[in-house]
Amino acid sequence: MATLAELFAAKVIAAYYTEAGSNRVPYLGEALFPAKKKMGLGLRWIRSHSGLPVSLVASDFDSKTVIRAREGFDVTETQMPFFREGISIREADRQELLKALELGDAYLNSVLSKLYGDAANLIAGANVVNERMRMQLLSSGKIELVDRKGGIIKYDYQFKGTHKTTLTSTNKWSDDDAPINSQIESWIETIENDTGERPSRAILTGVTLNYLKQNKEILAEIKPLAAAQVAPIRTDTLIDWFGDKFRIQLAVYNKMYANEVGGAGAKFFPDNVFTLIPAGALGNQWFGTTPEEADLMASRNANVEIVDTGVAVTTYETTDPVNVNTKVSEISLPSFEAADKVFIATVA
Across 13-27, 29-43, 53-67, 172-186, the highest mean pLDDT is recorded for 172-186
Residue boundaries of the structural domains of the chain: 1-50+74-348
Mean per-residue pLDDT of the chain: 87
pTM for the whole thing?
Answer: 0.87
Model pLDDT, residue 210: 97
Which comes out higher in pLDDT, residue 284 or 100? 284
Q: What is the pLDDT of residues 226-270, one digit of tens each?
A: 666 778 899 999 999 999 999 999 999 999 999 877 778 999 999
Amino acid at residue number 286 = W
Looking at the predicted structure, is the pLDDT value of residue 348 above 90? Answer: yes
Q: What is the pLDDT of residues 259-278, one digit of tens each?
A: 877 778 999 999 999 999 99
| CB within 8 Å of 263: residues ≥ 6 apart | none
CATH class of 1-50+74-348: alpha beta
Burial of 319 (0-12, 13-18, 19+ CB in 10 A): exposed
Model pLDDT, residue 62: 64
Q: How far is residue 183's CA from residue 181's CA, in Å, rounded to a whole number?
A: 5
